[in-house]
Structure 1
Amino acid sequence: MTARAHKPGVLCAGRVYADLLFYDMPRLPSLGTEVFADGLQICPGGGAFITAAYLSALGRQAELATGLSFGPLSGVMIEQISAAGVGTEMCKLTTDTGPQLTVAMTGGDDRAFLTKRAGPSALLPDAGQVGGMGHLHVGELHTLAEHPELIGFARETGMSISSDCGWEDTLPADAAALIAQLDLFLPSATEMQRLQAAGLSATPAPLTVVKQGGDGAMAVARGEGQVQVPAEPRDVVDATGAGDAFNAGFLDAWLGGASLRDCLHAGNACGGAAIAAVGGIGGAKLIAPLPEPQQARY
């Protein structure tokens, strides 16, 4: 038996994009101007996939449950998802919605995204497909609002459940009620400030972990106070996916029964690896060798 076989797996739901990642830019573009980038990558992206890829690099089984809509980029995207060790047996390849694509631009420690959504953000697998899965992670609050049935599915199948927040111009009307049903909520500091400005409490979930970038992260458990852990200083190569990588490190430790302080250290380590390499999962190779590619099936 491998170490991976002894760990409960994580099912990740949320949109998966074909990322056109422009990097080595002098600045982010503004209207009426043109900027030239020295680097370009074409790779899978989206919070659900990035978290799954880092979980796989940490030796934990990770599966996606979503629609994959990449248009003419489908072949290379599916190949890269498989090469990252992420399972796709609970995915569906969709061809009638057009490509789901993000143009990501990174300059220094800042970045910007332009995205087209297409296809379903999550798929509800059959209960019999999730054997060995101990946790459901939702890549963004918008997916949870589109598919609130994910919460009941997790409970019925014995999985704990977490969600990132993700950026949205408009918060879901039922955001507070959705977050309250999670076991773990993982917003960034900026997202948390916005939620509080909208009237949510500082502890919207039983366990709330606030990612603070270069300042580290803070965990707040209801009735147990808060724990703060600073991040180790790192030079920023590309901040794309750092929060999603943090999620993987924190979840892997949390599911293993580690203390909140150790979970925060693990999250910070993955986030630090992410910013040290180009691309959403570029830092995964800095944590551990990726597993052998597995066959993608639909």
Structure 2
Amino acid sequence: MTEPAPANRYDVMVVGEYYYDLIFTDLPTLPRLGADIWAKSFDDLPGASYTTALALTRLGLKAGWWCGFGTDIFSRMVLDEVRREGIDEGLFQWHDGPLRRVSAAFSFQHDRGFISYVDEHDSDPKAHDVAAARPRVLMLQGFSRNAERLALINGARQAGVLVCGECQHLDFGIEAEGVVDVLQALDIFVPNETEAVQFTGTADAETALEVLAQHVRTVVIKRGANGAIAIHDGRRYTVPAPKVEVVDTTGAGDSFNAGLIYGVLHGAPFEEALRYAVICGSLSTTDYGGRALPHEADLLAHVSQDGKERQAR
């Protein structure tokens, strides 16, 4: 008699590091050498892949986060928030020593910059780690073109796991060795507009989308206040963003990714899943540092209202 397949332990396995963000806002100008710039507002909170894990958790998905933590104060502050928010700790990697990852963000209404420091970068999990986690989706933060990343993706897909990857400020482009191999192994690729243009060396997001879609079945380009464009199974999609009062864009891309995954895992048609993503990304900008990441009820209420408004047009 055949044994039944084991149930999924996680809906999503997030692979990516934490950063502790120091966020300076209401700045009179960009920071520059020789000038003492005073922010009118300041906040501090966990960021990077913490935001993705939190966004998924708030949407009611079981998210496991592969991330290393040390004995330093920044690790402890992130862990305090993890436990307060009820994020699963089952995939955490523990280090006997400091593992500081800090970013100072200077944030404006429609974009932001960072100055960052890291003691040590995390290693990717292996295919057997993914098999043990039994996720439905593997969410890879950042882009790596090494053999280990490619083996991880291929191993996950062979186990029936959907693999979603993003970009994040690369110092190489699509022409670099190994990049196309990784792209072709992914199920979904979700860069933002700036990243997509720089990555492909094209003039605009529309051209970048066409280039990337030659290698990945599903490409989604996040365009901030302009919503998103995508190509899925050869068909092109455009979804506008709802109008919101933008306070801070930090974490918007992570919230967007969570909304897209939520839609995919709930069996929504692709265009509807893309709409979930745009709504989640937009709602997250209404407070500082991703504090407005929507809960499932917030998303569904906005989806319902959006549907009524579209029917009335």
Q: In structure 2, how many angstroms separate the alpha carbons of the residues matched to 1:38 and 1:27?
A: 12
Deviation at residue 287 of structure 1 after TM alignment: 5.3
Cα 1:84–1:61, aligned 2, differ >3 Å: closer, same or farther? same
Q: In structure 2, how many angstroms separate the alpha carbons of the residues matched to 1:217 and 1:22?
A: 27
Q: Does 1:243 align with 2:248?
A: no
Counting helix residues as a fraction of each chain, which structure ranks higher? 2
Structure 2 unaligned residues grouped into runs of 5+: 1-6, 203-207, 299-313
* Counterpart residue number, 2:31: 29
The counterpart of 1:217, out of the listed 209, 228, 231, is 228
SS of the aligned residue for 1:22 comes to: strand
Q: Does 1:129 align with 2:138?
A: no
* Counterpart residue number, 2:187: 183
Partners of 1:218 and 1:227 within 8 A in 2: yes
The counterpart of 1:194, out of the listed 198, 202, 205, is 198
| Amino acid of the structure 1 residue aligned with 2:140 | V
Partners of 2:21 and 2:102 within 8 A in 1: yes
Q: Which has the larger radius of gyration?
A: 2
* Counterpart residue number, 2:217: 206
SS of the aligned residue for 1:49 comes to: helix
Q: In structure 2, how many angstroms separate the alpha carbons of the residues matched to 1:30 and 1:236?
A: 25
* Counterpart residue number, 1:292: none
CA-to-aligned-CA distance 1:204-259 (integer Å, 9 cap, x gap)? 31100111111111120243x20111111222100111111101001110122111
* Counterpart residue number, 2:282: 272
After TM superposition, the score normalised by the length of structure 1 is 0.85
Partners of 2:59 and 2:294 within 8 A in 1: no
Partners of 1:97 and 1:119 within 8 A in 2: no
Partners of 1:18 and 1:77 within 8 A in 2: yes
| Amino acid of the structure 2 residue aligned with 1:71 | D
Give identity over the alignment, percent.
27
Structure 1 unaligned residues grouped into runs of 5+: 290-298
If asked which structure has higher relative contact order (CA below 8 Å, sep 6+), I would say 1
The counterpart of 2:243, out of the listed 229, 233, 240, is 233
Partners of 2:259 and 2:280 within 8 A in 1: yes
CA-to-aligned-CA distance 1:252-274 (integer Å, 9 cap, x gap)? 10122111211111011111111
User: Which runs of at least 4 in structure 1 moved beyond 4 Å after TM superposition?
Assistant: 5-8, 143-146, 285-289
Deviation at residue 93 of structure 1 after TM alignment: 2.5
Q: In structure 2, how many angstroms separate the alpha carbons of the residues matched to 1:87 and 1:144?
A: 28
SS of the aligned residue for 2:279 comes to: helix
Aligned residue pair count? 281
Q: In structure 2, how many angstroms separate the alpha carbons of the residues matched to 1:110 and 1:70?
A: 32
Partners of 1:162 and 1:186 within 8 A in 2: yes
* Counterpart residue number, 1:85: 86
Cα 1:135–1:77, aligned 2, differ >3 Å: closer, same or farther? same
RMSD of the TM alignment (CA)?
A: 2.6
